[in-house]
Structure 1
Amino acid sequence: MTVTTSAEAPIPVGEVSRLIGGWIDRLGAVWVEGQITQLNRRPGSGVVFLTLRDPARDVSLRVTCYRAVFDQVADLVREGARVVVFGKPSWYAARGELSLRATEIRAVGMGELLVRLERLKRELAAEGLFAADRKRRLPFLPGCVGLVTGRASAAERDVLENARLRWPAVRFAVRNVAVQGVHAVSQVVAAVRELDEDPAVEVIVVARGGGSVEDLLPFSDEELVRAVAACVTPVVSAIGHEPDAPLLDLVADLRASTPTDAAKRVVPDVREELARVGQLRDRARRCVEARLDREERGLAGIRSRPALAEPYGLVEGRGAELADLVGRSRRALGHLLDRARADVEHTRARVVALSPAATLRRGYAVLQRQDGAAVRAPDEVAEGDELRARVAEGTFTVKVSGA
């Protein structure tokens, strides 16, 4: 569309901006490649702002995208990274700025490889292979340590020397394999499985001295990750590469920062253990001595009590109390017996005084008929009856001569 203008008939700035926006709107979505020079992710904002630069032509283009679009590559893309962006050019008429609204972002070169590794990482994590509850504790003092590493490598030397310095009696079952290249995965997997099947091996160390991202790719291979996850024997990953940890670090039961660190984690230090044993022995001795001292003080306190310090004194005191009680009981019983005796004598005296025998002793006699009945009146007998007379000293027979 052609616009006719002149010095006498110019068009307003807003009209020019509107026309430019119309021309840009007719341009469809395009794929754009460039290097990220500025990256702005504002907290809480749903939009991410970045700037793409063409280093060859020194041209920059402002790019905006939704946070959900950027989050798909957020772990792999940072300032300085090369990316390919699919988006539609947009003209902001108020400020006269051209930008690109992106709907997809892809990493280029190594970034694309990292994206694939990130996707594999998420898949394996979703299966639970990296879960913390799957991690097994290492044995305190393994009898035999399996070591998978490169032949005559610095990693092998570091593990063997540092482990033997810490615990000279440690034994190793070393499997030398290729740690990079096309044969690395198959050889490492075979060595890990062989050591896992050996009942003498109690822990397996996979060691490499670090390297570039490309060199460490075998240790992020899915086959190796699944082989380590299936191991019964605890596995220690000692790749020695901090910035970009391979997937082996995530599935292993323990991740060591370097091969030297792996040697320190696998076997204890004999000097430290001897010192710890000495400390425990001293603590045990102090505990036993403190217990003995406490028990001795307790026994001394018990022995100082009167019941044990003077046991006969307590018995003698009780004996005196018992003797006093016996005396009191005897006196009480004597008093009771004397009183009872006096009562009996008094009663006996009364009985004697009131008895017929006493009356007879005063000269009286009792006359009884032949049937034993006492004669109380003269008319109870007749002349010529024989009666028995009872006196104090006996009886005799009398005959009635007259009434």
Structure 2
Amino acid sequence: MSNAPSAPDSPWPVREVNSKVKGWIERLGHLWVEGQLTQVNMKPNWKLSYLTLRDTEAEASVQITCPTNLVRNSPTPLRDGDRVVVYGKPAFYAGRGSFSLWVTQIRPVGIGELLARVEMLRKSLAGEGLFDPARKKRLPYLPQCVGLITGRGSAAERDVLSVARDRWPEVQFKVINTAVQGATAVPQILDALRQLDDDPGVDVIIIARGGGSVEDLLPFSEEALQRAVAAARTPVVSAIGHEPDTPILDNVADLRAATPTDAAKRVVPDVLEERALIAEARARAAAALRGWVQRERQGLASIRSRPVMADPTTPLRRRREEVRQAVGMIRRDVTHLLQQEQSQVASLRAQVAALGPSATLARGYAVVQVVPRDGSDPEVVTTISQTPPGSQLRIRVADGSITAAGMSATPAD
């Protein structure tokens, strides 16, 4: 075998390519692989049997070659759709350029083990919050277009379409038929879900199946489907119709319906009920409007019957009379107050006159003042020392004043 790199001038022959690929593949050694059988080709007179093992969550498969005795002596007959674990070694047949697994052990996966795995996955997804009601999307009140993923010609499809159209004939459906059990179910459902979720005209998606055995419902508990439903932008309704063992899809979907019929009823409103509600609402609105008009009419009639409406100037006249009375009272109070103040002023004036010097002078007394030589203001004479001989005096009497000169001063005895 040549180790030289391939080139346009020195290409490898097919046998050498196959030989190198065989060497690379056989380095993998023995492997345990789990999947679902989709084809079991076995005849008693064959030395070898050929099976196909498909991935349960993706469009991927691998051919299996095993001794016929291994299939014939299996504790339970191997059928298409069985979940199995196989032990084998990757093999590449250089002559044909084909790949397969050379299997020496095939172990069916029991339903108990599968259900245990489902419960472990259920707990794991619940821990991630995929079941949290807060993340679930509300369904539209009146969907214009409903996406439906279900089996071709199934009773679930007929039930959803007939019930929905009986309730609301105008509703539109976009139906995608897929496998709803077996190895191809999950990939096909994932592809249909992706198409409907990408369609802006689809308002809600229903995934429906009319019940079945526990094994038949296993695709609706596969992890890939749960994560796709959780990531979908469009609300998803689970309508699997199997009560004893609920698939995980019921927990992840935005709404769980007990049956496909129940899903149609919960997604599409009943036109008769809605029209009845509209008629009732219109009747209540009309009654309320009529009542309001009647109350307003009664209010207007009451207002028109009041005296003020018969003669609108009556309040003005009343207010004018009130103003006139108020002005008269104000004038009376002001006059009375002025009289009181005038009387008080006269009384104070009389008191001032009685206590002042004018009254004393009128009885014959006089006030003697000396005029200082420096020209300052006159001073009242209260002692003879203020008036030495020659002092200029001013004598004030009741009707005027007299200017005199001091001749002499005689002290009192």
User: TM-score of the superposition, structure 1-length normalised?
Assistant: 0.52
Alpha-carbon distance between aligned partners in 1 of 2:309 and 2:230, rounded to the nearest angstrom: 71
The C-alpha deviation readout for 1:56-100, integer Å capped at 9, x for no partner, is xxxxxxxxxxxxxxxxxxxxxxxxxxxxxxxxxxxxxxxxxxxxx
Aligned pairs for 1:126-205 (under 5 A) are 126-205=127-206
Alpha-carbon distance between aligned partners in 2 of 1:266 and 1:220, rounded to the nearest angstrom: 23
The C-alpha deviation readout for 1:192-231, integer Å capped at 9, x for no partner, is 1110001111100000000111010000000111110110
- CA positional deviation for 1:266: 1.0
The C-alpha deviation readout for 1:313-350, integer Å capped at 9, x for no partner, is 44455567788999999xxxxxxxxxxxxxxxxxxxxx
Alpha-carbon distance between aligned partners in 1 of 2:144 and 2:128, rounded to the nearest angstrom: 33
The 1:315/1:149 distance shift into structure 2, 3 A limit, reads same
Helix, strand or coil at the partner of 2:241: coil
**Equivalent residue for 1:243?**
244
Helix, strand or coil at the partner of 1:311: coil
- CA positional deviation for 1:111: 2.5
CA RMSD of aligned residues (A): 2.7
Alpha-carbon distance between aligned partners in 2 of 1:118 and 1:158, rounded to the nearest angstrom: 30
Alpha-carbon distance between aligned partners in 1 of 2:198 and 2:120, rounded to the nearest angstrom: 31
- CA positional deviation for 1:302: 3.1
State the identity as a percent.
Answer: 63
Residue identity opposite 1:227 in structure 2? A
The 1:189/1:302 distance shift into structure 2, 3 A limit, reads same
Alpha-carbon distance between aligned partners in 1 of 2:226 and 2:322, rounded to the nearest angstrom: 92
The 1:269/1:327 distance shift into structure 2, 3 A limit, reads closer
- CA positional deviation for 1:309: 3.9
**Equivalent residue for 2:296?**
295
Alpha-carbon distance between aligned partners in 2 of 1:229 and 1:207, rounded to the nearest angstrom: 17
User: TM-score of the superposition, structure 2-length normalised?
Assistant: 0.51
The 1:151/1:307 distance shift into structure 2, 3 A limit, reads same
The 1:296/1:151 distance shift into structure 2, 3 A limit, reads same
**Equivalent residue for 1:231?**
232
**Equivalent residue for 1:306?**
307
The 1:323/1:117 distance shift into structure 2, 3 A limit, reads closer
The 1:126/1:317 distance shift into structure 2, 3 A limit, reads closer
**Equivalent residue for 2:285?**
284
Helix, strand or coil at the partner of 1:201: coil
Alpha-carbon distance between aligned partners in 2 of 1:220 and 1:324, rounded to the nearest angstrom: 96
Residue identity opposite 1:277 in structure 2? I
The C-alpha deviation readout for 1:242-265, integer Å capped at 9, x for no partner, is 111100010000011010111111
Alpha-carbon distance between aligned partners in 1 of 2:267 and 2:245, rounded to the nearest angstrom: 23
- CA positional deviation for 1:283: 1.1
Instruction: State which drifts further: 291-300 or 277-286.
Output: 291-300
Matched residue count: 225
Instruction: State which drifts further: 292-301 or 165-174.
Output: 292-301
The 1:158/1:313 distance shift into structure 2, 3 A limit, reads same
- CA positional deviation for 1:310: 3.1
- 5+ residue gaps in structure 1? 1-107, 330-403
**Equivalent residue for 1:394?**
none
Helix, strand or coil at the partner of 2:201: coil
Alpha-carbon distance between aligned partners in 2 of 1:246 and 1:172, rounded to the nearest angstrom: 25
Alpha-carbon distance between aligned partners in 1 of 2:140 and 2:322, rounded to the nearest angstrom: 74
- CA positional deviation for 1:284: 1.0
Aligned pairs for 1:380-399 (under 5 A) are none
- 5+ residue gaps in structure 2? 1-108, 331-413
- CA positional deviation for 1:140: 1.1
Instruction: State which drifts further: 244-253 or 314-323.
Output: 314-323
Residue identity opposite 1:151 in structure 2? R
The C-alpha deviation readout for 1:372-398, integer Å capped at 9, x for no partner, is xxxxxxxxxxxxxxxxxxxxxxxxxxx
Helix, strand or coil at the partner of 1:180: coil
